[in-house]
Structure formats: structure tokens, C-alpha cells
Structure 1
């Protein structure tokens, strides 16, 4: 089939992403999008999955194909050096799936001869918990060994960008004809009508239109003109060697999570930016306070000690920032406004002392974030408080709420506990939840240190540190959430948003008394 669309220039496509040499002559953009595609209906492609991939402080998306109850086939460049992958099954809407699994790096098998420079052998497997097939979730058969599929029509599908700065939240598909065979390991489709795969579709399937078979994995190309796919038939022995019954690799079983019941609207992260090197997204304003906080000289918390704390992975454009938050109700998290300011989405990890390894997690879009309407990020960080609406969570020994501060208590002189996963005094990331006892200063002592005195700020000493922003300050005796970690004056004190100053604001948005 042919889908008519304005032709996207090769020069523009090449300007968008990392470049790689192929066949020694041309440069191709490896981060793909469906250009000139159509919306898929629910259940039309039950074999495709979308994947949220985390590597270091970067986050990006790719596609993949279900080839068995416990196996996903995708591109090696998608999962190269990945820490973990969240797989979304059975939906045409990005991140709003019937089922999702989180899978860690020890369940990822990258082709042993994959070359990250030339992207030869751009194929990988992901082992998952068992999924049961249905109308919306099903496997696709693999390509026939002796068929090169020259001239055949096939369907490519994915959730990537559909044009320049135009993001598809709905699954797109496009019909492509296979070129004459020019490589034993690559299938190529060249078009002149503006149809192709593109950035965000990497790792996704190319499936024959008649007698559906998975013949290709989206790899490299030029948006609107040409797409290269990894030829599946060239890797049948490799696939079977890893997915057969004799496979005995060590596997840490990932947890299974039910998907959100509310629709999560997300801005798609550009794979190009995620894979490229870039400056970290600054969170600070113009004054001399470091608002990316750390628990320094803290102690390791034991499991269940602070069931109200959550860790947050926050996406802002193409960067991931890390913050903490507090459970204040079954459906609400309290955190700092500077953490969620301009966020595209937030993943919330509940019930663990290990960073981003919760008992379960929720992904929440920007339409579920409520930032204080008078938050001033540029100057004072006054009103540095925000709410996140979540799907309902049930309480347990590991997941529970914390009571809010009393309205008329300033807590001067009281001892309180700050907790979080931020870096230590040596700049090393804390994988285990840390906590520290701190004494609350008088307002006058606090005002001597901060740029603009405010009754809405609590000061403690010595200080917390980077990565703990948004986390809780809870009184040691009769635990109450009295502060939300906001800023740091290095070597002297830490500033927290005073929760008691915002009880009416919290009640207005949550209905909590």
C-alpha cells in the first residue's frame, strides 16, 4: 500500500539523531519513527510491545515483538547497556497497556557480535515473566529460513514520531515493500512517497502482510525515505539457541504490575537525545542554593522502616531526574514543586529501601501533577510543594501513609528524620535508603541564612544532600510529616517546605482533612 505524505528531507532527518556509517558510504539515523503511517485499531497487532528503557540517567522508548510466552525480540541498540526495561503489552495507546513487566539487565541477551558503532547484528532478546495470550496479546511467528522476501509487502508498526516534532501516542503502521536482497543480515525498504519507519520505532516489528511472519527488526534509516531492518531469518539459530528448553541462564524474576486504570498522557522521549551525550537538566534557579539534595553521613534504613517514602524517576524533556516523595493518602504523593516542574511524566516506586526497585510502581503523566500555583522557581523557591495523583495503593507493612503536621505547631527544637536515596558526601550514589536525625531550627535562626525569609520554610542542620529533594522530614516522636526537602545552603543548613503552612492547599486539592 502507499500512504501519501509530504516528503521529509534527508538532511533534516539526518540532523535529528546520532549518525552511523553503513556499508562504508552513507550516514543513517538509527533512531526510527513511523513516517506517513495510519492509526492501528486495538488488537490489530497483538504481538507488538512498547518499551520504556532506562540506562544510567537516560530514558527512552523502543518497540519489540512477542515471539513466545516469555520472550521479546528487539534491537540490540535499544537495550545496549540498559539497567532495566519496562514492557507494555496489549494496547495501541503508549504506556496505557493491559499488562506491564519490569525486566532487569540480567534478563537481556544482546547478540555477542553486536557492533555499537556499525550496528551489525542489531538484535537482542528479553526474557520476561510468562504472559498468557489473548485477543490483545499474542506472539508472531518467525520468518522462514530460506525466504529472502524480495518484493514482498510487509507492515512496520510503532509509537515513534510521525513527523518533525509531531508525537504519536497511538500505535502507527505503514505498508512497505522489501527491496532486492543486498545483505544476508539486513532487509531494506526504500520509498519515495514519505513513508518509512522513524525515531522511536527502533526494535519494532516488520511483519509480512500475507501469512504474517516476523521478518525484520527496525534498526537504521533515513526518515521518510529508507529503513534498514535486521533480517530475522539470518538469526534463527541464534534465537533458538537462547530460547530453547536447554536455556539455563540465571534469571532474576521481575515483578509483574497491573497497568494504570487512568489514561497516562506522556510526551515521547527522543531516542536520539537519550543516546547522545548532553548536559544534565538544571533544576536550580538564580540564587546560591543547591536544591538537588543528598542525605550525607546517613545510616542505612531497613525494609519497612519508612513505609511512607517513595522514590521518583522524573522525565523532563530528554533527561531523568531523581527525587523523593511521601505517601499522604491511598491516591496522593506529596513532593517538591522543583522536582515536578515541567515534568513530562513521573514513575513512582513504592515499598523498598532499594532505589527504583519498589514492590510495585506507577507511571503518572503531567496531567496528574499539581504544582503550587505560586511556586517561584527563579528566585526564592517559596511554595516549593507539589502533589501527584496516583492510582489507588493499598497499605501494607512496606507501603503506608504518613500523617500530616499539626496546624499550630512550629516544631522548633524537635528532632526529625530526613530520608532519601541521594548521593553521599563523596558524590557517590546511594543505592540503599539513607536516613539522618536533624534538629529543627527556630525561624529567626533559619532567616539568618536564607535569601528571603518566609514562614513557609523550616530549616534544619547540618544538611541533607543531592538526590533527596522532595523527600520527607518526619518528627521522630509521634511521626508527622513536617517538611518537604527543598534547598541546601552547603555546610550550614537545609531548607524544607513547611507542611503545616500548606494544609489548606493540600485539603483543597485532595479533600484530605
Structure 2
């Protein structure tokens, strides 16, 4: 019997040696990459996952279960700090209008995951916001109602590398037909490492998954083209992808009733029929690539929507003037004479020029009111090095008259909770490479995350008086958005000021890292003591 080792693919790349027990057999036919290119919308549930840990970045594949949950392998989520996920496109590079790129750091690791044996190698990734379903973004149609039998033709798919020598991922999603074999036959190759919850598949030659196909599903196509997720890639032979040894998957069926034992999974997949989806398992391979910057093409607040006239009547554009120059910040009107902004925006300024009533910072607008003042108060404990207590107040010389385009925002009565949907607004620059402000006020919807999650990326500099927020893609604040308000809505209509824009990642505005704000609620008493304004 061949006592071959199972290779956990994220580690295969770190060792060039292959098993000496059985010589590696090469054939002219490659693996998934030698299959067929998927056509647009053929596998709308396929997800490409870039995983970032504290010291590495690698590639995995997953399957979309609902509009907010992706099933993947435990080793793909264990100790992860950030996931950048692509759905809707069959290509990893190049322009594709159907591509949706999202980021998250929320995951669930199976409590009995064993990295040595690959048992219970499952994990779930939760997207920060639900994705919108299209012809190119859909959930997998069915889960199995019975175990996968021997001799069944199934489809394997992924973006994995072409052969053992070429470490590049394929740009196009590929698929190939393979056949399930018995566990007894698979044990002839791998021994007792094969358990009842695993299944092996083989092709006519050496078709199957390779490095970078980790977590890719095997699909059983049943009547009328309905696709059933029956297994998830887990391992290949230590002899290499191009050997004729079978490939290993984790069976889905054994986990439908007793697998994850996590309540949120049942809630997540309850969107589908009870007969077909109850609880899931996702297994994913890893593909190590060099650790790179978190930057990606795209826009932030400027990539959001343009605000309509009077949508944010409390928004204020602030030009802070100094003897050596000036710079732009945002702010929010909290009464007819006071503006709340960041301390970094006003400290040591000689004069402040403020725009109210208009969504544009240039051109003519009859609703625009321009005022000037030199009266401001920064928090007495503001620390410019750590950005703690980064709040400040600007006092106008005379009260402004409220109208449809100028009014105040409410102060909060309670603190901002985690996972709250909030809105960021500002005139900040469009990208890391374009230093100019935008003319029109933009806004984008985001979600607050826990300080514990934010500390995974920024460390102990995140304190209780701060909050981090993230968007579905790379939305957030950029240069010129400092001091702007983060807005929540009370009773869906009444705007509440919940935080002040303070910082973004040193990797750039266009990274997928969270944006940092100063919470408003801890400073309500200080605001009241300075201004007399109460919530």
C-alpha cells in the first residue's frame, strides 16, 4: 500500500521536497487548469478569498451560502486578521463590471478543527453587509439530501495553479469532471488518515484540485441543471498535484445535522428550504503568496453617492488657516452657533473659514453661507501623537439662521453599538494618488466594528473612546474628511452624531483597513459644559 502523506496545501509551498515513498507521476494533462473555462454566471456562488494574517497573505476559495455567509476551511480563517473577497467574476484580474469586492474580518472557526489531521477543517466567514444578488452573484442552489455515492461524476472548480512548477494562480475560473471513489480505495493511497467524513475523487488522468483550489466545491449536477454542493477541497497528495493520486474533499452531508453546532449558521442558511439547507461545512485549501500592501483600486467616500441638496443640512466645510498655510476638514453643526469637529483640524489655527448650506465647495450656490471665526475649543486632553480625545468645538461669531439647507444634528443619548449601520460623509480626496478635494459632498454606508476587532489591525492605540468602521468594499474616509460626522439614524429619520472622523490606515485611503473615529457619546458632558447644548 502507498503510505502517501496528505498535503495541507498552504504548507506545500513552504517545502520543495515531495514524498519519497512514491515517485511523482507527471502527465501532459494538467488539473483544474486543464479543464474548461467557466462562462460568466455559470458558478455564481464561487468566491475568491485573499486571507491576511499577522505575517502572511494567502489565497483560498469558498462558496456563497447566503447573501452574508461564505463557507471555507478552518485553516483559512484561523488567526486571520482580514479577508478580501471577490464574488461575481470568473477572473481574478482585469476589468469586469460584474465583480464585487468586499472585505471583512468576522469569522467562526469550528471548535473541533484539527490542523494536523484536517478533521473538522471548516470555518465560516461573515460579510460586513449583505451582497446584492445578481445573475452573477448567487448562493449555491442545494445541499445534499443523502451521502455522496461511489462512482458519481462531479464537477471540481477553482483558480488553482496549472502545474507543480508554476506557482501562479490561473486568472480564469476553471472546472473539470472527476469521479468519487470509495474510502477503502482512497485508503490504499493515504491509509487511515481517511475518515468517514472525507471523500476522494479522481479523474481519467490527473484531473483535480491543485494549490490555489483549496476550498473549491465539488458539485453534483442533478435534474434540470440544479447544482448540489457535495464536498469541499481539503487536500492533495504529497506527491504533487500532477500525480495520479486521488484528491481529498470533506463530505458535506455528515455536517448537515451535527457538524458546526453553531446557532448562527442555522440562522444564516434558514433563508433556503429546511429540506435542503440546515447546517454547513466549508473546507478550503490555502495558497501562499507574498505579503503585499492592502491597497486596491477603487474609491472611498468619493466612491459613494453624491448627497442631494439638504440631505445633510448640518454638514460643514472648514478651512483652517495658519501662518504657514491652510488645510480642509469637515464638521457638523450641533446648534446655530457651534460646530463639532476634530481637534486636529483646529488646534493652533489663526482663523477658520466655514461653509454651510451647500453640498458644493466651489461654484455658485444661493444656499451657501460662508462665515469666519477664530474662536474654538479643543479637548484639554487631546493628544496629537495618539489621537486620543480628538474632538474640538468651533464657535461662530453670530448664530446662523436655520432653513431647509442649514440645521443642527442631534447629539447621542447612548453609545454606539457594534455592528451598527452608519453613514460617513465628506469632501475628501478621491484616491491616494489624487490629492484634490471633490466638489460635491459624498456619503457612504458603513458598519461599526468592535474595538477588539479593530485592535487586531491597529494594536493598543485603539482606546474605548474610539470606534472603527468598515464598508463592504474599501469605502471610508480619506484626506480632507477629518472632522466630519459619522451619522446614525434614530427612528430611521432623525440624524444623530455618533463619531468624529479621526484617522485611516497608513497603508492608504484605498486599503481595506477600517477607518477610525472618535466616539461622540463619551464627550457629551464636555460638549454641554462648553456650549450649553444638551442631547
Greater C-alpha Rg: 2
Instruction: Please indicate the TM-score interval, normalised by the length of the shorter structure.
Output: 0.3 to 0.5
- TM-score, length-scaled by structure 2: 0.45
- TM-score, length-scaled by structure 1: 0.47
